[in-house]
Each structure stands twice: as structure tokens, then as C-alpha cells.
Structure 1
Amino acid sequence: MSKSTICERERNQLAKLNKFQLKNQFKRIGFIIAIGTFILMIGRKYIEDSEWIKPILHGILLIGLLLISVSKEKVEDEYIDSLRSQSYRLAFIMAIIYSLVQPVVNYGVALLFHQDDKLQGFNYFQVLFFMLIVQLMFFWKLKRTNN
């Protein structure tokens, strides 16, 4: 096999992955999953000994938000594709800034209120949740302001 055919095949696979989107119906499913999970997360606060379900609900919420994020719009054209790309780029940049600034803010607040003054990070859920929410908000805002 020549190098050019291997490179072409890899390029084609990347192009397919880059264009991957779910049908528009999955957006509704994603909203149902995300809102239902959010309600369950609030309800979990009132149930004793429910700490074991927290990571499961986090995972399900992220799946719901991801379904919303990768679902097509009713009218999916190059313009919508461009807005989607912009929103992903902005969400990525904001997540990096959030990841760098948030531990310092937490440390400052802890010092201000004389609490545990260790510099603490955060978990994967916080970063992924923030990234998906920011991407969706930027996408909706860009779509609304550019219509």
C-alpha cells in the first residue's frame, strides 16, 4: 500500500468524523434527557444516602447536552455550519480560561472567608458541563443575532 492511499483514507475518515451530526429529532430527545436529569438532580438533594447516583446523573446530563449540541438544525446549511464551528471554538477558549481562572477565584474566596485555603481544582463534569453550555449558548446567540 502506498503512502498516498493511506493518507487519503485517513483524510476521508477525518472528513466523515468532522461532518458527523445527528438528525434534528435527537435535539428534542437531548432536551428531554437534560431537563429530566436536572430535575432528578434537584430531587436527589432531598433523598438521604443518594451520593452514589450523583456521577450517574452527571453522565446522563452530559449525554443530553451532547445530543443537543451535535443535532442538526431544521435548516442545516453552510452558514449554520459556520456558526456551529464558531461556537465550538469560543466554548473551547472559554473552557480553558475557566479552567485557569476558577481555582484562583476559589482560593481567593476561601482566603477571604478564612476557610480551607488550599488551591483546589475541579472535576471533569464541571469543565465538560461548562463547555457544552457555553457552546450551546454561543450557538443560539450567534444564530439569533445573525438572522
Structure 2
Amino acid sequence: MSQQSFCEKERKNLEKLNKFQLGNQFKKIGVIIAIGSFILMIARKYFEDSEWIRPLLHGLLLIGLLIISVSKEKIEDEYVDSLRSQSYRLAFIMAIVYSLVQPLINYAVAVLFNQDDNLKGFSYFQVLFFMLIVQLLFFWQLKRMNK
């Protein structure tokens, strides 16, 4: 296999991955998964020894939000694709800012209230949840403003 054909094949695979989207019907499935896992996260608080299910519910919530995020709109054209790209870019930037600023805010609040708190980070779930929520909100807002 020549180097040219290998590079061409890789480029085509990347293009396929870049264009990947689920059908519009998956948006409803994602909403059901996200809302269901959120409700179960609240219900989990009322059961003892349920800490083991927390990572599972976090994962389900993230999967539901991701399904919503990568599902097509009813009318999916180049303009909607452009809005989607903008929302991903904004969500990525906001997640980085959030990741850098949030530990400092937590530390400042702890100092302000005389709590003995070290400068702490946060979990992957918080960052991914924030990123997906921000992407969806920006996408919906951009779509609504540009109708």
C-alpha cells in the first residue's frame, strides 16, 4: 500500500467522522435518557448505599446530552451546520475558561467564609456536562436569533 493511498484513506475516514450525525428521531431518545437519568439522580438521594449508581447515572446523562447534541435538526442545511460549529467552538472556549476560573472562585469563597479549603479541581463529569449544556444552549439560542 502506497503512502498516498494510506493518507487518502485516512482523510476520507476523518471526513466521515466529521460529518457524523444521528437522525432527528434520536433527539427524542436523548431527551428521554437525559431527563430520566436526571430524575434518577434526584431519586438516588433518598436511598441509602446508592453511591455506586452515581457514576452510572452521570454517564447516562452525558450520553443523553451527547445524543441530543449530535442529532440532526428537522431541516439540516449548511446554515444549521454553521450554527452547530459555532456552538461547539463557543462551548469549548467556555469550558476552558470555566476549568481555569472555577477552582479560583471556589477557593475565594472558602477563604471568604473562613473555611479550611484547598484549591481543588473538579471532576470530568462537571466539565463535560458544562460543555454539552453550553453547546446545546448556544446552538438553540443561535438558531432562535437567526430565524
Residue identity in the other structure for 1:5: S
Q: Which runs of 4+ in 1 moved over 2 A?
A: none
Q: Which residue of 2 aligns with 1:71?
A: 71
> Structure 1 stretches of 5 or more lacking a match?
none
After superposition, what is the alpha-carbon deviation per residue over 1:17-51, rounded to whole angstroms, capped at 9, x for unaligned?
Answer: 00000010100000001011111111111111111
Residue identity in the other structure for 1:3: Q
Q: Which residue of 2 aligns with 1:101?
A: 101
Residue identity in the other structure for 1:121: G
Q: Which residue of 1 aligns with 2:132?
A: 132
- Whole-Å Cα distance in 1 between the matches of residues 145 and 5 of structure 2? 44
Superposition TM-score, scaled by structure 2 size: 0.98
> Structure 2 stretches of 5 or more lacking a match?
none
Residue identity in the other structure for 2:76: E
Match runs of 1:1-147 below 5 Å: 1-147=1-147
Residue identity in the other structure for 1:99: S
After superposition, what is the alpha-carbon deviation per residue over 1:64-100, rounded to whole angstroms, capped at 9, x for unaligned?
Answer: 0000000000000000000000000000000000000
Superposition TM-score, scaled by structure 1 size: 0.98
Give the length in aligned residue pairs.
147
- Whole-Å Cα distance in 1 between the matches of residues 123 and 89 of structure 2? 22
Residue identity in the other structure for 1:97: V
Residue identity in the other structure for 1:42: I
Residue identity in the other structure for 2:57: L
- How far residue 117 of structure 1 moved from its aligned partner, in angstroms, is 2.4
- How far residue 3 of structure 1 moved from its aligned partner, in angstroms, is 1.9
SS at match of 1:10: helix
Mean CA deviation greater in 39-48 or 21-30: 39-48
- How far residue 4 of structure 1 moved from its aligned partner, in angstroms, is 1.6
- Percent identical among aligned pairs is 78
- How far residue 116 of structure 1 moved from its aligned partner, in angstroms, is 2.3
SS at match of 1:22: coil
